[in-house]
Each structure stands twice: as structure tokens, then as C-alpha cells.
Amino acid sequence: MSERQPLLQQSDASDYEGSGRSNALRPVSSSPPDSTLVNVQSEDSIAVHSGVADEESHDSSQGSGSDAGKSMYNPTNHRELEHPTSNFDTLVHLLKGNIGTGILAMPHAFKNAGLYVGLVGTLIMGAICTHCMHMLVKSSHELCRRLQLPALDFPGVACSSFDTGPLGLRRYSHLARRIVTIFLFITQIGFCCVYFLFVALNIKDVMDHYYVMNKYIYLLIMLVPMVLLNLVRNLKYLTPVSLIASVLTVAGLAITFSYLLHDLPDTSSVKPVASWATLPLYFGTAVYAFEGIGVVLPLENNMRTPQDFGGTTGVLNTGMVIVACLYTAVGFFGYLKYGDMVKGSITLNLPQDDILSQLVKISMAVAIFFSYTLQFYVPVNIVEPFVRDQFETRQAKELAATILRIVLVTFTFVLAACIPNLADIISLVGAVSSSALALIAPPIIEMITFYNVGYGRYNSLLWKDFAILAFGVCGFVFGTWASLSEIFNPSTI
């Protein structure tokens, strides 16, 4: 139990995961919790604890005494947090971790599903994603009790589930950690690409009213300030930036709603059900919008009263009900208002010649521009320690870290420039990485975690996990195929 402090997710030279020590940290009160993934144990410590547990179990004829001790272990009583978050703080972070560019893309998602299919489908998708978050937290608690660790992060839960599961799967524990870490990296890089393109398109939409220029020019103009902003390595200095972004986002969404609710047409003016060919695109956008599973464990790990996180009226359910209702409302009224003319971001449908709508687009663009740095913090924090370990001197390490940041920002710029449509990249990121993290990983982790505990009467837990897993895999395959088809050949769909 040598490492109990929450650490910012680090990485080493072998598997991009950290095992160093650090002072206890908590999510910055005004920054999204995506950037403060908690890691309270190293990979080696997990292996040591699991190995000790296996040895104790063997030496005591299935470890009756050891099992009794583990069952009495409460992980939340062993968390040493310097600044734990309140229930309200956690709720705010949860809302902010889920509400971003995805909510502005929901009207386009409804276009690919149809008005009523989108209405019902979004609520069902929200319920499934919320349940998967509960599954991840439940598995984390079980593994923490089993290994007598205070907390685990997402990659740590994946690794520990395999490490303490069936004997044939234990050899793949480190692989499971790496896969989850890679998908976290891909997800955050995808978010950064979406942010790059979102800012460029919204600024272009405003400026086209005065002077028309190609979107690539706006992307190039953004590149230098984006690089300079992301050279800031301490989240402490980004707190005012995050506060500004939050205020602008709330104001922009409120004004956007006023446009959506004005002079709504009849529901018969839009399609109630779309074609089967476009449903995978709806899936990708919807699961992208609900991608908040990466912030769940960091939030729960840093709570003052973590027992309030779950439950029927807990923080998680409360926050996700609000998120699902907001997504459904924006998607429903946005598609009803603009019909098949709706664009990848609902802000692009607002009037070009209206000063208020121009202010909305600019404010949302500025908010997303500032939020890019906070999303970028996660992937660079995964890769940077690995890069630093390749050099000897301090000066060389610092130079390598700076070059890495410039390269990664430029990489997201290139990807954003290669994608012709904002809706396409949102759907692709959602189908590839968001579905893997939100719908595929949790049921696999739960099935392996409770292999020795049991799956309940009639193996109900197992059948439920198989159903969610099949749904996630189908969405992953068909959503990725449809998104790539739309990107490379828009006429096919």
C-alpha cells in the first residue's frame, strides 16, 4: 500500500502507464475532469497485489480467512485526498465532461435516424451508456476490494480484471491496459480534430457574410496560436481559460435554444424514420455525444462522499438524466427547425446576417478553442513520459517534450484538414473509439471481474453483458463503415 495518492495519468517507457509518485491532486474546479485521470497504483503494484492474493488463496485452501479480510476492505476509507470534491462539484464536472461539440451535432444525428427514431433512440442510448458507467464503477469497487487498493483508473480496471480473472486470460492483463489506453488516446485526439474543424467552420461562417475565404486558410490561421497555447504544461494556468470557455458555452447554448424554439414547423415536415443506411451514422454521432465514461472513475475516485455517486438518485444518474434530456431536446427541435438542411453543428444553421447569431458562433468557437487545450492534455500526458525516457539530459527531455506537443497539435490540424465534413469526423470518432470505451469495454470487464463471484440467477448478468457487447460491436463495425463511406464517397449514403 505504498501508493495511495491520486496521480495524474503518467506513462513509462514500456506501456505508456505511470508508476511514479506524486502529491495528491484533484480535478481543477473549472477544468473538465478528462484532463485529470486518476492513477493511484502502478502496474507493478497491481501485479504484486494480485500475486499475493493468489498465493494467500492457495496456501489457505481457497483463502477463507483472506477472503473475509478482503470482503471487509472498503476502498473509499483508504483514499487520501488533499482536496476532495463535493457532490455538486462532481455533478458540474460530469455535466461538463459530457456536454461539448457533441450536443451541437445531435440535430444532424436526428436527420440520420428520423425525428421519432432519434427521440426514442437517444433516450435508450443514454440509458445504456449510463448503465455501462455503473458497470465500470461496480467492477472498480470489486477489484479494489479484491486487491485491497484504494482506487483504480480505467486502464487499471481493465488490467486488474484480466489479472484476477480466469487463468487463461491473465497473460493478457497488460495488453488490456494498453488497449484501453490506446483508445483513450485515440478518443482525445479525435476530440481535438473535431475542435479544430469546429472552430474553423464557425469563424468561416461568420466571416463569409463579409469576405469569403477557404476553410483551410482559417485552419492555418488557427495553427500557430493553437500551438502556442498548448505549450502551457500546467493545468493551473489554464483554469481562467476553462472558466471563460464554460461561460461562453452556457451563453451560446441558451441563445441557440431561443433560435430553435422560434417559429417551429409542424412535425410532418420532417422524416419520422430515416433509411437503414444512415442509422449507423446516427449511432456514431450519438455515442460520441454520450462519451463521458472516461471521466467517471476520476470523478468517483476524488469525491468526498463516493457512496453518493451511484444509486438511483445519485450524482451519476442525476447528471446523465440532465445530459440525455438536453441532447434529446437539442436534437429534436434542431432537426424539426431546419429539417434535412441541418448541418454538422447546429450553430452553422443560424442566420449569417444576424448579429446575435454571429456572436453565438464566435463565442462557441472561442469556447471550443480554449477547451482544445484541456482535451489535448490527456493524449500528450500519455505519450510525453515515454518520449522523455528516450533522452538523458534534462535539456534534451524538455526539448523533446516541446517538439512532441508541436507535432501532436500539427497532427490534429492535418487530420482536421483532411476531413471534408464536421459531421463525418464526429460520427467516425464516435463509432471507432467512443463505442469501444463506452459500450464494448465495460461489459467485457464486468464479465471477467465477476467470473469467480457469479452472474446471478439464470446467469442474467452474463446475458445482459453479451447483449450490450453485441450492440457495441455492431455499432462499431457498421458505424465505422458508414462513416468512412461517407468521408471517401458521400454519394454512397
Q: What are the extents of the domains in the chain? A: 7-40+72-492
- Averaged pLDDT for residues 11-19: 39
Say what the pLDDT of residue 362 is.
Answer: 92
Cell, residue 237: 494556468
| Structure confidence at residue 487 (pLDDT) | 81
Q: pLDDT digit string (tens) for 258-305?
A: 899 888 899 988 999 998 889 999 999 999 888 778 888 888 888 889
Contact 4, 150 (CB under 8 A): yes
pLDDT value of residue 413: 92
pLDDT > 80? residue 403: yes
What pLDDT digit, counting tens, does each position of 45-94 carry?
444 444 444 444 444 444 444 455 556 788 878 788 777 888 888 888 88
Query: Cα(101)–Cα(96) distance, rounded to whole angstroms?
Result: 11
Percent of the chain having pLDDT more than 70? Answer: 84
Q: Find the mean pLDDT for residues 39-45.
A: 42
For domain 7-40+72-492, the question of CATH label 2.30.110 is answered with: no
User: In this predicted structure, what is the pLDDT of residue 236?
Assistant: 65
d(CA 75, CA 86): 18
| CB-count exposure of residue 59 (10 Å: 0-12, 13-18, 19+) | exposed
Q: Which three cell numbers stand for residue 478?
A: 457498421
Please give the pLDDT value at position 77: 81
Question: Looking at residue 229, what is its pLDDT?
Answer: 86
- Residue 385 — pLDDT band, cuts 50, 70, 90? confident
pLDDT in tens, 316-364: 999 999 999 999 999 999 999 999 999 988 999 998 888 999 999 999 8
> Of 32, 3, 31, 42, which is closest to residue 385 (Cα–Cα)?
42
| pLDDT of residue 14 exceeding 80 | no
Mean pLDDT of 111-124: 94
Grid cell listed for 482 = 458508414
Q: How far apart are the C-alpha atoms of 459 and 452, rounded to whole Å? A: 13
Secondary structure of residue 38 in the 3-state scheme: strand
**CA-CA distance, 289 to 194, in Å (whole number)?**
12
Task: Check whether 13 has a pLDDT greater than 50.
Answer: no
Cell triple for 269: 415536415
Residue 99 has a pLDDT of 80
Least confident of 20-29, 229-238, 323-332: 20-29
* pLDDT-wise least confident of 16-20, 98-102, 192-196: 16-20
Determine contact, residues 183/440, Cβ cutoff 8 Å. Answer: no
Q: What average pLDDT does range 122-144 have in this prediction? A: 94
Which residue shows C-alpha cell 462557441? 364
pLDDT at 118 over 90: yes
In whole angstroms, what is the distance from residue 459 CA to residue 456 CA?
A: 5
Q: Which residues pair with 7 in a beta bridge?
A: 39
DSSP secondary-structure letter at 8? Answer: E
Residue 40 confidence class, pLDDT cut points 50, 70, 90: very low
User: Distance from CA of residue 22 to its chain's centroid?
Assistant: 24
Look at residues 454, 448, 465 and name the one whose alpha carbon lies nearest to residue 162.
Answer: 448
Give the span between the Cα atoms of 272 and 136, in whole angstroms: 35
By CB neighbour count within 10 A (0-12 exposed, 13-18 middle, 19+ buried), where does 240 fall? exposed
Residue 308: C-alpha distances to residues 39, 80, 190, 286, 317 (Å): 21, 18, 32, 27, 10
* HSE-up (13 A, CA, CB side) for residue 254: 6
- The total of other beta-carbon atoms located within 10 Å of residue 12's CB is 16
* pLDDT at residue 27 is higher than 60: no
